[in-house]
Amino acid sequence: MSQLLVRGGRSLTGEVAVQGAKNSVLPILAATLLTGGQVELRGCPRLRDVDASIRILKALGCGAHWEGDSLLADTAGLNSCTVSDILMREMRSSAIFLGAVLARCGEAKMSYPGGCELGPRPIDLHLAGLRDLGAEIQDSGGVLRCKASCLRGRELILSLPSVGATENLMLAACGAEGVTTISNAAREPEIVDLQEFLNACGAGVSGAGTSTVTIEGRRPLHGCAYQIMPDRIVAATYLCAAASAGGEIYLRNAREGQLATVAAALREAGCAIRTDQKGMRCICRERLRSVRPVRTAPYPGFPTDAQAVLMAALLRSRGATVFEETIFENRYRHVDELVRMGADIRVMGRVAVVTGAEVLHGAPVRCTDLRGGAALCVAALAAEGETSIAEIGHIDRGYECIERDLKTLGAEIARTEMEI
């Protein structure tokens, strides 16, 4: 088993390019099924979750292979509408394949993706929306059997702006007769990216980025070449890494427009953040200050995926910062690991209070989830001595090669095999 060894105390300097967005490429890979043709996804990150999506495409009879940093998918050969339980459980966002397979084949058989390390991850909104579009869905023993001889477009209203449900319903609606509107849709930039991809394939989708998305169904779709947007959470992680370790870094491709709340918190903490047309610069020369309460919320609010890395950056700040997690129940699992490094964090339900410590020290820690794992790296950069981070498979789900990027920025970090 691999681990990351980080020797803290070096400030960061230099420049890296931000990888393509995981949360954008996963729904787009499901969307390739709608085209029945060849798609080239440029700037596609090589991640465990992308590999899991490729395995699902292949199980459905489709082809996919890499050419450099492009992923070429060919979905002409689709010959199955069943995804096995093992493949579904590999990745929570596998649920997104339901809408696409149903739209393409008129039926789909898949199991529930299951819970995850962040707590229960229901898909009731996905299923209610698909039923409203005319799908018959039977659930027996966790296996979903879906049939839709004809999906019909209509108005769908989400009771909360779920990212996955919005995406799943956009895909199903592409195969529905007539027009579908999704009200109270999620507004995340990745939903805009999915719209842009679908439209590049010939679809008629509009409104993504606002609360109402409109889809004209049954347009003939074709393949295309498409550039995946940069990953705003990876960018947030590296900004927080620079804030934690100090120094000056430049992130090519990072877009401040998608990181407004994260940038605002880091500025309040004392970082200088400058943006130009090609990326973002973060300069941090002094001990950080605590910031006003950070409350996670759907976009454009503070991203739940950036909560852990900002918390890690503030562990040595002056004063105390309150975090409130409103999206997922179980999103403070990294806290116990940070406390091992000398952090002062009190958790009360959905609230965590971080009081800045004078020093952090290296410790053996383990990743509890993807962003919690990234937070351990961010904290380790500012800790005295060596931190060993175990169970880094979580990090590999979302970061192409976190140690390569942090090393490029001057960190002392290496991936090694653990001695058991």
Q: Within 13 Å and on the Cβ side, how many CA atoms surround 325? A: 23
Please identify, among the stretches 12-20, 81-89, 116-124, 170-178, the one whose residues bind ligand UD1 according to the rule CB under 6 A: 116-124
Please identify, among the stretches 157-165, 175-183, 219-227, 401-409, the one whose residues bind ligand UD1 according to the rule CB under 6 A: 157-165
Closest CB to ligand UD1 among 125 and 406? 125
Alpha helix ranges (H) inside 124-188: 124-132, 163-174
Q: How far is the CB of 296 from ligand UD1 (least distance, A)?
A: 8
- Contact by Cβ (8 Å): 165, 95: no
Beta strand spans in 43-112 (E): 63-67, 70-74, 82-83, 107-111
Q: What are residue 340's phi and psi, to 5 degrees?
A: -60, -25
Interacting residue with ligand UD1 among 125, 262, 343, 392 (CB under 6 A): 125
Asked whether position 19 contacts ligand UD1 by CB under 6 A, the answer is: no
Closest CB to ligand UD1 among 360 and 395? 395
Taking alpha carbons only, the member of 386, 344, 378 closest to residue 361 is 386
How far is C-alpha 365 from the geometric centre of its chain's CA atoms? 23
Interacting residue with ligand UD1 among 15, 124, 136, 286 (CB under 6 A): 124
Strand pairing of 82-83 and 351-355? Answer: unpaired
Distance from C-alpha of 357 to C-alpha of 110, rounded to nearest angstrom = 48
Asked whether position 26 contacts ligand UD1 by CB under 6 A, the answer is: yes
- Contact by Cβ (8 Å): 153, 133: yes
Instruction: Let me know if 240 is a catalytic residue.
Output: no
Q: How far is the CB of 335 from ligand UD1 (least distance, A)?
A: 17
**Using CB atoms, what's the residue nearest to ligand UD1?**
164
Q: Which helix (H) or strand (E) holds 201?
A: none
Q: How far is the CB of 295 from ligand UD1 (least distance, A)?
A: 14
Q: How far is the CB of 236 from ligand UD1 (least distance, A)?
A: 12
Asked whether position 155 contacts ligand UD1 by CB under 6 A, the answer is: no
Closest CB to ligand UD1 among 305 and 396? 305
Q: How far is the CB of 300 from ligand UD1 (least distance, A)?
A: 11
Interacting residue with ligand UD1 among 126, 334, 340, 397 (CB under 6 A): 126
Q: How far is the CB of 233 from ligand UD1 (least distance, A)?
A: 7
Closest CB to ligand UD1 among 171 and 411? 171
Distance from C-alpha of 350 to C-alpha of 371, rounded to nearest angstrom = 17
Q: How many residues touch ligand UD1 (CB under 6 A)?
A: 20
Q: Site map for ligand UD1, 304-333, x if CB under 6 A?
A: xx---------------------xx-----
Closest CB to ligand UD1 among 307 and 387? 307
Residue from 44, 62, 81, 116 carrying the catalytic annotation = 116
Strand pairing of 38-42 and 82-83? Answer: unpaired
Contacts of the segment 216-221: beta carbons below 8 A, 24+ positions apart: 216/153, 216/178, 216/179, 217/151, 217/153, 217/173, 217/174, 217/175, 217/176, 217/177, 217/178, 217/179, 217/180, 218/174, 218/175, 218/176, 218/177, 218/178, 219/174, 221/34, 221/35, 221/36, 221/37, 221/174
How far is C-alpha 336 from the geometric centre of its chain's CA atoms? 23
Please identify, among the stretches 161-169, 241-249, 265-273, 349-357, the one whose residues bind ligand UD1 according to the rule CB under 6 A: 161-169
Distance from C-alpha of 39 to C-alpha of 29, rounded to nearest angstrom = 9
Interacting residue with ligand UD1 among 164, 189, 342, 372 (CB under 6 A): 164
DSSP classification of residue 19: P
Q: How far is the CB of 98 from ligand UD1 (least distance, A)?
A: 11
Closest CB to ligand UD1 among 50 and 123? 123
Query: For the chain, first and last CA: distance in Å?
Result: 9
Q: How far is the CB of 308 from ligand UD1 (least distance, A)?
A: 11
The catalytic site residues sit at: 116
Question: What is the binding site for ligand UD1 (CB under 6 A)?
Answer: 23, 26, 93, 121-126, 160, 162-165, 186, 190, 304-305, 327-328
